[in-house]
Amino acid sequence: MGNPLQEQLLKAGLASKKQAKKAEHEKRISRKQHDGNPPAATSNTAREEQTAKDLRNRELNRERLEETRLREQKAQVKQLIETNRIPQDGRGEPYHFAEQNKIKRIFVSEEMGDQLSRGQLAIVKLGAGYEVVPAKVARQIVSRDKEAVVVFHEKV
């Protein structure tokens, strides 16, 4: 009925009918589980898929960490500006400066205008408006976000 080798082993008395049936059963189960695919190829594919998935996950985690870091820096800049801003004088003299090829102005006292031109104060952008902060704070802001500092006449 089946395998000539198996029949020879049965005739020689080296194997029993029970062992032959068990071997045939295991062979059938093995074929059903792998659907004709060898087990090594299946595990290779699974390993490759897992590796690709791990790489994607690492990349997504790196991007999330970068976004979180940028949000933290923006929050730090905002906090530095809000805690260290110097009140502007609405009735003072206008101080003109350029931002993105446009001339802007804020009103500051005469003393603040002198300090701005000497690099002791700086103008930074907060939301849609502008604030004046001390030079020390401006350096801290530059280290976190260069684009937030609009005017800073730093001594080189």
pLDDT over 60 at 68, yes or no: yes
pLDDT of residue 87: 87
pLDDT of residue 122: 94
pTM of the model: 0.60
pLDDT of residue 31: 81
Supply the Cα-derived Rg of the chain in whole angstroms. 38
Chain-wide mean pLDDT for the chain? 86
Lowest mean pLDDT among 35-39, 52-56, 122-126: 35-39
Assign 37 a pLDDT band (cuts: 50, 70, 90): low
pLDDT over 70 at 135, yes or no: yes
pLDDT of residue 43: 78
Domain residue ranges in the chain = 80-151
- Calpha distance 72→131 (Å, rounded): 20
- The CB-based long-range contact list for 72-80 (8 Å cut-off, 24+ gap) reads 73/144, 73/145, 74/145, 76/144, 77/141, 77/144, 77/145, 77/148, 78/126, 80/133, 80/137, 80/140, 80/141, 80/144
